[in-house]
Amino acid sequence: MKIFAAAGVYAAPSDGKPNDWTEHLSAADLSLGTYSIPAGGADDQGPHTEDEIYVVQSGRATLVTDSGTAPVGPGSVIYVPAGETHRFTEVTENLALIVVFAPPYGSRS
């Protein structure tokens, strides 16, 4: 068992980066991390080769995907299938997301 106390806690980007990604776990079948975007910040991610679950811990934004657009806030749980283009826009409050990838992030080329 592992407990990840820092998962989902907002972390301000450093070194002029537009957002922050912190990986907490990479196991054989999944990985876990926290993705943080400051209010007014940019989401510069591209589509991933793994399925992805986001759980919004804090903040508000709009999620734009190939399959639709929706406002998200604390408690929102979002599934994005592998290969789908997606981006958080209109970040009005510091956004902190728990992210689960299956299989682990970067494991498919």
CB within 8 Å of 75: residues ≥ 6 apart: 56
Give the pTM: 0.94
Q: Domain range holding 39?
A: 20-102
Query: What's the total number of domains in the chain?
Result: 1
Q: Give a yes or no: residue 6 inside a domain.
A: no
% the chain with pLDDT above 90: 94
Does the structure show a pLDDT above 80 at 48? yes
Q: Give a yes or no: residue 15 inside a domain.
A: no
Q: Give a yes or no: residue 13 inside a domain.
A: no
Q: Give a yes or no: residue 58 inside a domain.
A: yes
Q: Give a yes or no: residue 107 inside a domain.
A: no
Q: Give a yes or no: residue 95 inside a domain.
A: yes
Residue 72 belongs to domain with CATH number: 2.60.120.10
CB within 8 Å of 81: residues ≥ 6 apart: 51, 52
Q: Give a yes or no: residue 56 inside a domain.
A: yes
Contact, 18 vs 37, CB < 8 A?
yes
pLDDT at position 107, please? 86
Distance of CA 10 to the CA centre of its chain: 11
pLDDT at position 106, please? 86
Could you report how far apart the first and last alpha carbons of the chain are, in Å?
29
